[in-house]
Amino acid sequence: MTVGTLTKRAVALAGGTLLALSPLTAQAATPTQPEPQPTLAAKGATLVDDTSGNTLFAKDADTVRPIASTAKIMAASVVLDTTGVDLERQVPVQQEYRDYVTQHGSSTADLQTGDKVTVRQLLYATLLPSGADAAYALADTFGTGATSAERTTSFISKMNTKAGELHLSKTKFTSFDGGGSDSSTPTELAELAQHAMTNDTFRAIVKTKEYKGEAPAANGRTRYYTWTNTNQLLGSYDGVIGIKTGTTTPAGDCLVFAATRNGKTLVGTVLNSADRYADAAKLLDYGFGSSTAKSMKLRALPTHAQRD
């Protein structure tokens, strides 16, 4: 065999080696494909990175829809944003608060007439069991006017004023508890939630699974209250820190939620969903790059707990 032949064989072998490696080299150089966006049951939804403000997911996110009891996020914000608010101020429970629940078939904190509960307790009672009676008490206390009707109307006006201050132009409130034609968009509801979560008291309340407290009763004895958070995502999906459920026939099942993992906080909304918790978990998985939604088991609510 001549030197020229050997040289040609060496080149051929080298070329073969290169050809054999080239598919592997090309595969390693291929960029990572982005995660596919989740398919949701919700008619409207959004997911936002709380730090950057970037929207990570949107589905009809700027379409106005009924928001049910998620409106109570604004009711709580109006109270907590009140200059010099005294959270330990005692508020006597009026019979009309209970009558309102009966008349509207609303969720309730079962506040007892004549009990004296603090503003802080009313916030827990509004946000955990979604008590319309507690929301009424807050509106009656923080609105202005000579009658309860005037005061609650004033309070609802404050809710709309606050929406304006937050530049939520598509958000409108007609009630203090979400029982009216209250409406917003997934985008604006997430922005409201981000504002509410800047308040330490609000944050502490909405991440609480169960609250136990006591209040002076009308008969001079002590009343003991237990309120369970209606948000079943809390305690079911690792990292969830709130926020609020809402359900009415026009609105369907709604959820405003937030979760933190490894220093990253995500805030989201799902409106009118046939499976709001699964939707929220899918969105959080998408935002965190995790895959825990499929194995999530929802926290069970006690038999006596409110559903909203």
Catalytic residues: 69, 72, 130
> What does the alpha-carbon distance between residue 122 and residue 131 come to, in Å, rounded to a whole number?
9
Q: How far is CA 209 from the centre of its chain?
A: 14
Q: Which residues pair with 245 in a beta bridge?
A: 255
> What does the alpha-carbon distance between residue 8 and residue 4 come to, in Å, rounded to a whole number?
6
CA proximity to 202, closest of 82, 120, 284, 260:
120
DSSP state string for the chain:
--HHHHHHHHHHHHHHHHHHHHHHHHHHHSPPPPPPPPP-S-SEEEEEETTT--EEEEESTTS-EE-GGGGHHHHHHHHHTSTT--TT-EEEPPHHHHHHHHHHT-----PPTT-EEEHHHHHHHHHSS--HHHHHHHHHHHS-SSSHHHHHHHHHHHHHHHHHHTT-TT-B-SSSSS-SS-EE-HHHHHHHHHHHTTSHHHHHHHT-SEEEEEEE-TTSSEEEEEEE-S-TTTTTSTTEEEEEEEEETTTEEEEEEEEEETTEEEEEEEEEESSHHHHHHHHHHHHHT---GGG--PPPPPTTS---
